[in-house]
Amino acid sequence: MKEPVRVTVTGAAGQICYSLLFRIASGEMLGKDQPVILNLLEITPALKVCEAVAMELNDCAFPLVKDVVVTDDPAVAFKDAKIGLMVGAKPRGPGMERKDLIADNGKIFSSLGKVIDDVADKDIRICVVGNPANTNAYILAANAPSINQRNITALTRLDHNRAIYQLAEKSGSDIADVKKMTIWGNHSVTQVPDISFTEINGANAADKVDATWAKEEFIPTVAKRGAAVIAARGASSAASAANAILDHMRDWCLGSESGDWVSMAVPSDGSYGVEKGLIYSYPVVCKDGDYEIVQDLEVSDFIKGKMVESETELKEERDTVSDLL
């Protein structure tokens, strides 16, 4: 039996985590042969609910779960952690501007970054989910300089999965036949879902749908899908977000599918002209516990223009929280 991996999950009493934790415990994230220790971090008022989640995890008698720790102390939660799933964040309230959310959540991720820098494993793999995810990841990275910076990522896999569904639905294709979907940029309405390189059964997807649909309907539908879910259910995406977290981490740790790529928001290395260091979504191939940005794609002028818009938004968000960096 392998040594257990310590997985820290923030916001562990929330809806996303209620859909996430039991699937991690069953081996869906790291494999059916990988034991885990689950460290559940919550704010003090939510500890009782978090303890109830831990009770349910224990009552499932998952063979892979070697311990469940419930705490409101980040230093306890992140001690020697190998994986950090940063789900907890303040949600956007009525009348709240995006910049207000950035300021409030930025403080949370600044303080967590400092703790992670002090106590976590230096090669901890981090996936930031709490919004604004890309900029929260940037803030966390700035406050955790001793951590491997490549390993501080943000979640755009939900956008990637949403885009696959929309394309499959429009083209009358099976979801399993859709490969090489791409999400560029920020996890926001400026994101750039791109089917230019996508394949359906090995054929170019752009040939199977109307170009006007791809530009005028597909992109905004994917970008605004989260708002559509909120309008429909009165709460933000939970089960689909949890599923995307599992996909993101499983592919990163165990490898993405041969002949395909996935979308991850990772620190830019300057690829495609994006400013170095920004947490920007790219198409990536995962292998041996690492990822590589797919290079040399011939991006159209239309997509490139939208990529620049998303990059500009990320720079503006960064400037808003300069005091936390």
Positions marked active-site: 187
Phi first, then psi: what are they for 272, rounded to 5°? 60, 25
12 is in an annotated binding site: yes
Q: Which of 113, 105, 107, 112 lies closest to 145 in space, CA to CA?
A: 113
CA 27/CA 253 separation, integer angstroms: 13
Query: Which three-class secondary structure state does DSSP give residue 89?
Result: coil
Residue 98 labeled ligand binder: yes
Please provide the DSSP assignment of 220-285 as one string.
Answer: HHHHTHHHHHHHHHSS---HHHHHHHHHHHHHHHH-PPTT--EEEEEE--SGGGPPTT-EEEEEEE
Residue 15 in marked binding region? yes
Label residue 100 exposed, middle or buried (CB < 10 Å: 0-12, 13-18, 19+). middle
Tokens 């599918």, residue? 257
92 labelled as ligand-binding?
Answer: yes
Does the annotation list 131 as a binding residue? yes
Q: Is 105 marked as a binding-site residue?
A: yes
How many Cα atoms within 13 Å fall on the side-chain side of residue 13?
16
How far, in Å, CA of 27 to CA of 48, rounded?
26
Tell me if residue 5 falls in helix, strand or coil.
strand
The annotation status of 129 as a binding-site residue, yes or no, is yes
Question: Is residue 250 a known part of a binding site?
Answer: no
Is 93 marked within a binding site?
no
186 is in an annotated binding site: no
Known binding-site residue numbers for substrate: 92, 98, 131, 162
Known binding-site residue numbers: 11-17, 92, 98, 105, 129-131, 162
Known binding-site residue numbers for NAD(+): 11-17, 105, 129-131
